Amino acid sequence: MLTRSVCAADYKEVISVLNEWWGGRQMTDMLPKLFFVHFQNTSFIIEKDGRIIGFLIGFISQTYLNEAYVHFVGVHPKYRKKGIAKRLYELFFEAVQKRGCEIVRCLTSPANHTSIAFHTKMGFQIEKGDYEVNGISIHKDYDGQGQERVLFVKYLKLE
């Protein structure tokens, strides 16, 4: 396995498998090429035998300079539960910490229990929202009407 930064040319391969990796959900509108062009220093690829098997797209907040945000993480369905997402997050934490960030944020849908469990295991806390369902705090209409989200925050350890 090879880990490296994202480059613009990766977009074509990632976008062609995106909906498939998400079990047929229409995801491509949420990932325009701009993220592969303008946030390369904080976005990563994991390859195996010359094919992309995982990617993370993240950036540093331009409003809050000590905060970083993970926008999108995907792992090839055949390579799940092998620590690939964990490795991508570790690369991201290291990159943003080097650039002065102490806080990492990201979010997921309340229905994505795998994602909630993963982020909790990775040391993220759930931010208090508008109401709770099964003990999980939810932000109502966060990404537009009916678009509920679970918000995560992680405080990076100062070294």
Question: Applying CB under 8 A, which residues contact a copy of itself?
Answer: 12, 15-16, 28-30, 32-34, 37-42, 59-64, 67, 69, 71, 141-145, 147
CB of 100 to a copy of itself, least distance (A): 13
- The span from the CA of 9 to the CA of 90, in Å, is 23
**N residues, the chain:** 159
* Eight-class DSSP state of 127: P
| Nearer to a copy of itself (CB atom), residue 6 or residue 84 | 6
Minimum CB separation of residue 60 from a copy of itself in Å reads 6
84 versus 149: smaller Cβ distance to a copy of itself: 149
Residue 45 has phi, psi (to 5 degrees) of: -125, 140
> Closest approach of Cβ 62 to a copy of itself, in Å?
5
- C-beta neighbour count of 158 within 10 angstroms: 6
CB of 82 to a copy of itself, least distance (A): 27
CB count within 10 Å of CB 134 equals 8
* Nearest residue (CB) to a copy of itself, 16 versus 120: 16
Tell me how far apart the alpha carbons of residues 140 and 143 are, in angstroms, rounded to a whole number: 9
3 versus 5: smaller Cβ distance to a copy of itself: 5
Comparing CB distances to a copy of itself, the nearer of 2 and 30 is 30
Question: Residues 156, 104: contact at Cβ < 8 Å?
Answer: yes
Query: Rounded to the nearest whole angstrom, what is the least distance from the CB of residue 4 to a copy of itself in the complex?
Result: 14
In this structure, which amino acid lies at residue 151? L
